[in-house]
């Protein structure tokens, strides 16, 4: 996963995709997010359960433990290692879902520049990506070490021709189970290892190279060439 995605729907649309009937706390407002070109180190909209209540939060994309200050904060965590490696041990139990409209990958097709592709669900629904992180404390108090990473797995099927890694996207019922603090960590590991949505759920197409510039925004970035 190359590290660029879109979140342009409103947070209410993302909550509807989760199919959660209970009350929730929204700190992101009611207007469409309108972010077509979200880059690492900027804020991601995500869901996290705190005090038995679903929270819609904005959290920095990227996280590292306090003892790894000599490297840039990773934005992704490999599913094969995330549950047992030392790097993400502190945040492995702190689960979240990052809802995205699509993400982008760059492919070497033999030209002078790599060709960007957009990847999204064929059914038009948001992709509910498994994530972990350090999240704001009570009453929304932001801390310096807040941040999140998206869990990734090996690509399969035709998607591997676009990129060898993909975010772990969960079906709504599995995303709810992933978010639930009562879900044992062993079950959470099985969810992301084996039950991510398969390649046939997604479609992909070429988009303009303007998406390569972080400052560029707008619906034109997601239009097919």
For residues 183 and 190, give the distance between their C-alpha atoms in angstroms, rounded to a whole number.
Answer: 11
For residues 29 and 72, give the distance between their C-alpha atoms in angstroms, rounded to a whole number.
Answer: 30
| Crossing angle (nearest 10°) for helices 185-194 and 172-179 | 150
Beta bridge partners of 202: 121
**Is the entire prediction scored with pTM above 0.85?**
yes
What percent of the chain stands above pLDDT 70?
A: 98
Query: Residue 165 has which token pair?
Result: 């890694």
The catalytic position among 2, 80, 189, 223 is 2
Whether 197 is a known active-site residue: answer no
φ/ψ of 165, rounded to 5, equals: -125, 155
Task: Show Cβ contacts of residue 204 under 8 Å, excluding neighbours closer than 6 positions.
Answer: 105, 117, 118, 119, 120, 159, 162
Among 171, 170, 172, 129, smallest CA distance to 151 is for: 129
For residue 8, name the pLDDT band (cuts at 50, 70, 90).
Answer: very high
pLDDT for the residue 159: 93
Whether 2 is a known active-site residue: answer yes
What is the per-residue pLDDT across 205-217, written as a single tens digit (0 to 9) for each?
999 999 999 999 9
What is the per-residue pLDDT across 176-224, written as a single tens digit (0 to 9) for each?
999 999 999 999 999 999 999 999 999 999 999 999 999 999 999 999 9
Instruction: Give the CATH architecture of domain 5-222.
Output: Alpha-Beta Complex (3.90)
The catalytic position among 105, 177, 197, 210 is 105
Q: Give me the residue spans of the domains in the chain.
A: 5-222
């Amino acid at each position: 996963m190359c590290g660029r995605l879109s979140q342009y729907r409103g947070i209410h649309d993302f909550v509807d995709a989760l199919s959660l009937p209970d009350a929730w706390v929204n700190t992101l407002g009611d207007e469409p997010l309108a972010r077509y070109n979200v880059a690492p180190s900027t804020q991601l909209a995500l869901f996290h359960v705190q005090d038995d209540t679903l929270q819609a939060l904005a959290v920095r994309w990227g996280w590292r433990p306090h003892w790894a200050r000599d490297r840039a904060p990773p934005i992704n965590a490999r599913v094969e290692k995330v549950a047992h490696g030392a790097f993400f041990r502190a945040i492995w139990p702190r689960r979240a879902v990052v809802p995205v409209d699509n993400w982008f990958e760059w492919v070497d097709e033999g030209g002078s520049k790599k060709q960007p592709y957009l990847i999204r669900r064929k059914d038009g629904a948001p992709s509910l990506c498994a994530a972990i992180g350090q999240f704001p404390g009570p009453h929304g108090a932001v801390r310096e070490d807040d941040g999140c990473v998206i869990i990734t797995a090996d690509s399969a099927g035709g998607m591997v021709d676009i990129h060898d890694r993909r975010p772990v996207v969960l079906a709504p019922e599995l995303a709810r189970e992933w978010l639930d603090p009562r879900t044992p960590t062993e079950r959470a590991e099985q969810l992301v290892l084996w039950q991510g949505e398969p390649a046939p759920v997604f479609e992909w197409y070429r988009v303009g190279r303007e998406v390569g510039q972080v400052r560029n925004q707008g619906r034109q970035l997601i239009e097919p060439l």
